Amino acid sequence: MRNERERTGKGGFQTRPSIKTRNPKLETSSMNRKLIIIFSLLLFSWNLFAWDFPNENRVYDPNINTVLLYKDGFEMAMPVIALNSGEKLKLSFDDLDVSLKNYHFTIRHCTADWETTNDLLTTDYIDGMQDDQIDEFDYSYNTTVEYIHYTAFIPSRYLKPRISGNYLLIVYIEGPEAPLITRRFMVVEPTSVSVDARVVRSNEPLESYSKQQIDFTVSMPGFIWSNPSREIKITILQNERWDNAIRNPKPRFVRGSELDFTFDPLLIFNGGNEFRALDMKSLRYQTENIRLIEWDYEYHVYMLEDYSRARKNYTLYRDINGRKLIQNEDYATNSAIEADYAWVHFSIPSSSMIPGGKFYLMGALSDYRIAPPNEMVFDPQAKRYSCTLYLKQGFYDYQYLFVPDGSTVGDVSFFEGNHWETENQYTIFVYWHPLSGLYDQLVAVRDINSRD
């Protein structure tokens, strides 16, 4: 339901104050009012830099689940919008604590490397109010698990990004220094920059059967630079993963306004393998890869055991490259509030614990994070690795990452195999930071597929 009234406290409401004519007897001096506003803005800006939490996709409240942020109308798209274009991002999440809450959100500008941009005040990158309310919500309907589904749009009526670049969306109740949800998103400004890119087999003889190489050129007519290796930054993502992103490669050649990144042996990714699938759009029957659906005061979905594909030949089948799609096919008309929740049990058989690292579930179902909730834990009695996630009905892609001890980068080839033929989605981000500038401008975003 859309609620146009302002909420206060724990679910109470008050109407927004109307604009009234000024009363000279009650009016403070204009100078004092300006000083108060300036002081408040400076204090808010200072607090932004003091907030001590990473600029990453995280959920800090265990009652919050199924956080989605995407370009409105494109549910499986990355959260990227064009500056001043009318495009919007849609944020949604479920609160399993069904008491109505007064959620707010704000945004923080970040560098190309996802550090906080310290040279900007909030007024430099926020147009409007410094935060806004999340006042659109619906209660779950016909589900065994009750929840409240919250929705917000960015830009909103009162808050929008003023400049391009990387941003962190921060959702909170008490204050932005105590976030409940953080989500990365990007705002690209319309420019003359263009990216010509393709995915090819690695040129290295020993890697040509297992790895993919990104060849691309960046054309920047009208841009003036003195040191392109310093002023221009590049980030390349594979299937929206941040742990194995390639950051800040240097151009091999600079020809006028064109930067050439072709035939660079450093621009190589593991080809990996096609994603595994969890189809949980219905809880009434078992789909492929599901061994059992059980009701024990809550739904439990037991997946078939997953075996290593490291030594198997490549097999072509369609996937959605690690994404998820929330959907209930059991007579639902609005899956956002009619999709139920279930405990989903994943397992890998193993006679012993594999030394030297840990296994993690990877994909949108785990926010692409290498984190304890997504770790496959070894059980010596059952002789298997297992992990259980609480998921909303829908379709999910996933893979198993092996993360060596001391590393923050997951290796998909260890368990899933490695093939140059694998269909993968890549995203290239181009940032420009002139020597006299204060922030990293996002001037181009290019999506390419290994099958293009």
Tens of pLDDT, residue by residue over 8-27, are: 333 333 333 333 333 443 34
Secondary element (H or E) of residue 37: helix 30-50
Q: What band does 450 get if pLDDT is binned at 50, 70 and 90?
A: very high
Distance CA 192, CA 194 (A): 6
Q: Using CA atoms, how far apart are residues 207 and 216, in angstroms rounded to an integer?
A: 19
CATH architecture for segment(s) 6-10+29-188? Sandwich (2.60)
Q: What percent of the chain has pLDDT over 90?
A: 84
Q: Identify the bridge partners of residue 347 per DSSP, sorted by sequence position.
A: 386
- The answer on pLDDT for 229 being more than 90 is no
Q: What pTM was estimated for this model as a whole?
A: 0.87
Contact 245, 256 (CB under 8 A): no
- Per-residue pLDDT, 27: 43
pLDDT for position 299: 97
Which of 303, 318, 314, 320 shows the shortest CA–CA distance to 389?
Answer: 303
Write down the pLDDT at residue 5: 35
Is 378 strand, coil or helix?
A: strand
Among 24-28, 71-75, 348-352, 430-434, the range scoring the smallest mean pLDDT is: 24-28
Predicted pLDDT at 298: 95
Q: What is the pLDDT of residue 11?
A: 36
The mean pLDDT value for 310-329 works out to 94
> Looking at residues 225-243, what average pLDDT do you find?
94
52 burial (CB, 10 Å; 0-12 / 13-18 / 19+) is: exposed
Q: What single-letter amino acid sits at 76?
A: M
pLDDT > 70: what percent of the chain?
89
Average pLDDT for 232-236:
97
Query: Please, what is the average pLDDT of the chain?
Result: 90
Give the model confidence (pLDDT) of 88-136 as tens digits. 999 999 999 999 999 999 999 999 999 999 999 999 999 999 999 999 9
297 burial level (CB within 10 Å; 0-12, 13-18, 19+) = exposed
Identify the pLDDT of residue 50.
Answer: 56
Give the integer Cα–Cα distance in Å for 267 and 259: 15
pLDDT surpassing 80 at residue 7: no
Q: Which of 244, 243, 237, 247 is nearest to 56 (CA)?
A: 243
Structural domain boundaries in the chain: 6-10+29-188, 194-232+248-271+430-449, 276-416
**39-50: per-residue pLDDT in tens?**
444 445 445 555
